[in-house]
Structures are given as structure tokens and as C-alpha cells.
């Protein structure tokens, strides 16, 4: 039987379809909020070309987290606040596990965004070295009180300043650029489509595949590439995804400007006890 181009394409699709199905179902359970409807997307996706760009100091873009089977919000909140403390001269990496075990008491909560930021404001977060991330399997552990796991660090909380939590829904690109360039990274919700899971390099824009749900990422820079305006963001799917865990996404794409959160860092607080807010 002759191998025609159409038959060849069918055989390739047949070979890879089990892998595609496995990866789709795996990532759908790894923090993508499939129960939430899509964010509103811009009908007009054109962005006026601009000449300014921004990237923070490399030491203030903290490491990529593998969220495992937990929601991405605790990871992104801890990363955004870590980066913002660094930009203020305090280079710490903060603990998503503090949020999971001492506030949420669960590994997945699609509607917990505001409460997580309020917890960061009222209680503050411990460092990652004090309270390492252990819930990546999907099991959430009980809160630990008053003593760091490494036994060396004091019990120090790094909070958001009172009244500084911001929720930006205006989709105003100029304002978001100003916020990032002036104060540091933000947490952004985005719509996840199947093609995003397989994205590697370049500037992402949705081309194919169904809507899988919402997801949060840390956006910390912006620029232009091949006449396309983009946000520079970090994902929470380990260094094996995208470009070492980082990606560029076209502005006005996948609802990326529709639901943004951040806060300003406050002075660290030394305390001997943990109180649930």
C-alpha cells in the first residue's frame, strides 16, 4: 500500500494521540481552574508599538516552582511578594506552603485569590527555607507553629503593607506596565487553551485547542519582539515547560490583563507564634 501524505499524517496523529490525551489530562488536574468560565478577551488585539521595555534585575526574578497537583495561586502570590521584597533590597524567597497549610488548609481552591492576598497582608509569609514546599503531591499538611523546619532561622513573617492589596481589572496596558516597572511583578489570571500546554519559545498567542480553564502566572516584564508587544511571565509548571519555565505572551491575549493582583511589601515581622487570620 502506498504511503500518501494524508495517510502519513493520520499515522503520526495516531502515534501521538495517546500522549496528547495523557498530557492534556495531566495538566488539567495540575492547577488549571477548569470550573471557572473564560476571562473576557479583547476583541481588538492590536497594541500600538512602543519603544520602552522593562526587565527587573535577574536576582529579583526568583526560581520557578513546580506546583505539582496544587493550585497555582499560592505559588504565584509567594513569588510576586518575594520579587517585590527583593526590589526593596530584601532578597528572600517566600513560602507557598505557609499559605497552603496555615491558611487554605487545602491544596486546591479556585476561589481563594482574595483571601490569599489578605492573609499575606494580615499574617505575612515565612521564607521557603523555613517552610519548604511539600504539598506538590496534592496532600496538604497541618500548619507548623513557631519553629522553622531547618531549626536555624528565626520565625519571621514578610507581609504586604496594610491596605496595599490591589485588584486591577481595567485591562489598561499603560497602567499595568507602569505598575510592573515602578513596583514589581503582578499575579495575572489567563485563559489556558490546549496549545499553551505545548508552548516552548517565541511570543505565545492562542492558535488551536479547546479552553481548559483559568490559571495564574507571575508577570514581571514587557517588551516588543518582531513587532509584537508582549508580557514576560513565569509559569509554575517547572523548568521543563516553556523556556525554562518562562514565557512571553502577546498583550491582549488569553485575557491576561483582565484579572490582576499584587501588593506592596511591608517591614518583616519577628514573631514567636503563628496566628490564623
Q: HSE-up of 104 (CA within 13 Å, CB side)?
A: 28
CA distance 271 to 234: 31
Give the start-to-end residue ranges of the domains of the chain.
Answer: 58-270
Instruction: Work out the angle between the directed axes of helices 113-122 and 73-87 (0-180°, nearest 10).
Output: 40
Residue 262, pLDDT above cutoff 60: yes
Residue 10, pLDDT above cutoff 50: no
pLDDT one-digit tens code per residue, 153-164: 888 999 999 999
Whole-number pLDDT of residue 3: 39
pLDDT one-digit tens code per residue, 171-206: 999 999 999 999 999 999 999 999 999 999 999 999
Question: How far is the CA of 100 from the CAs of 27, 69, 151, 272, in angstroms?
Answer: 20, 12, 21, 20
- Per residue, the 3-state secondary structure of 161-184, as one string, reads CCCCCEEECCCCHHHHHHHHHHHC
Residue 7, pLDDT above cutoff 50: no
The C-alpha cell 519577628 sits at: 270
Whole-number pLDDT of residue 55: 95
Residue 220, pLDDT above cutoff 80: yes
Whole-number pLDDT of residue 4: 42
Residue 9, pLDDT above cutoff 60: no
Whole-number pLDDT of residue 5: 38
User: Residue 229: which pLDDT band, with cuts at 50, 70 and 90?
Assistant: very high
User: Residue 30: which pLDDT band, with cuts at 50, 70 and 90?
Assistant: low
Residue 271, pLDDT above cutoff 90: no
DSSP class of residue 213 equals E
For a pLDDT cut of 90, what percent of the chain falls above it?
A: 65
Choose among 244, 245, 254, 196: nearest CA to 218.
245
Whole-number pLDDT of residue 129: 94
Whole-number pLDDT of residue 272: 55
The C-alpha cell 507571575 sits at: 218
Contact yes or no for 72/30 (Cβ under 8 A): no
Q: What CATH class is the domain 58-270?
A: alpha beta
pTM score of the predicted model:
0.85
Whole-number pLDDT of residue 11: 35
Cβ neighbours of residue 44 closer than 8 Å, sequence gap 6 or more: 252
Q: Is 48 helix (H, G, I), strand (E, B) or coil?
A: coil
CA distance 208 to 193: 8
Whole-number pLDDT of residue 273: 45
CA distance 30 to 111: 16
pLDDT one-digit tens code per residue, 51-85: 789 999 999 999 999 999 898 999 999 999 999 99
Amino acid at each position: 500500500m502506498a504511503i500518501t501524505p494524508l495517510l502519513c499524517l493520520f499515522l503520526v496523529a495516531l502515534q501521538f494521540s495517546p500522549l496528547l490525551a495523557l498530557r492534556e489530562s495531566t495538566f488539567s488536574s495540575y492547577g488549571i481552574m477548569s470550573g471557572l468560565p473564560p476571562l473576557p478577551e479583547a476583541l481588538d488585539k492590536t497594541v500600538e508599538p512602543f519603544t520602552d521595555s522593562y526587565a527587573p534585575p535577574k536576582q529579583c526574578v526568583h526560581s520557578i516552582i513546580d506546583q505539582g497537583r496544587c493550585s497555582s495561586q499560592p505559588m504565584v502570590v509567594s513569588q510576586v511578594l518575594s520579587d517585590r521584597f527583593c526590589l526593596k533590597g530584601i532578597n528572600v524567597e517566600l513560602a507557598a506552603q505557609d499559605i497552603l497549610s496555615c491558611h487554605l488548609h487545602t491544596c486546591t481552591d479556585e476561589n481563594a485569590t482574595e483571601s490569599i492576598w489578605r492573609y499575606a497582608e494580615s499574617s505575612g509569609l515565612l521564607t521557603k527555607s523555613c517552610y519548604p514546599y511539600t504539598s506538590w503531591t496534592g496532600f496538604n499538611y497541618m500548619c507548623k507553629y513557631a519553629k522553622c523546619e531547618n531549626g536555624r532561622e528565626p520565625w519571621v513573617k514578610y507581609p504586604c503593607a496594610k491596605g496595599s492589596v490591589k485588584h486591577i481589572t481595567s485591562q489598561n496596558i499603560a497602567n499595568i506596565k507602569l505598575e510592573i516597572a515602578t513596583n514589581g511583578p503582578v499575579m495575572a489570571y489567563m485563559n489556558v487553551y490546549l496549545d499553551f500546554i505545548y508552548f516552548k519559545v517565541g511570543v505565545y498567542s492562542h492558535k488551536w485547542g479547546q479552553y481548559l480553564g483559568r490559571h495564574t502566572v507571575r508577570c514581571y516584564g514587557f517588551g516588543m519582539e518582531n513587532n509584537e508587544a508582549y508580557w514576560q511571565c513565569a509559569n509554575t509548571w517547572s523548568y521543563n515547560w516553556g523556556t525554562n519555565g518562562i514565557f512571553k505572551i502577546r498583550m491582549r491575549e488569553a485575557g491576561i490583563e483582565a484579572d490582576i493582583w499584587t501588593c506592596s511589601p511591608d517591614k518583616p515581622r519577628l514573631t514567636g507564634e503563628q496566628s490564623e487570620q
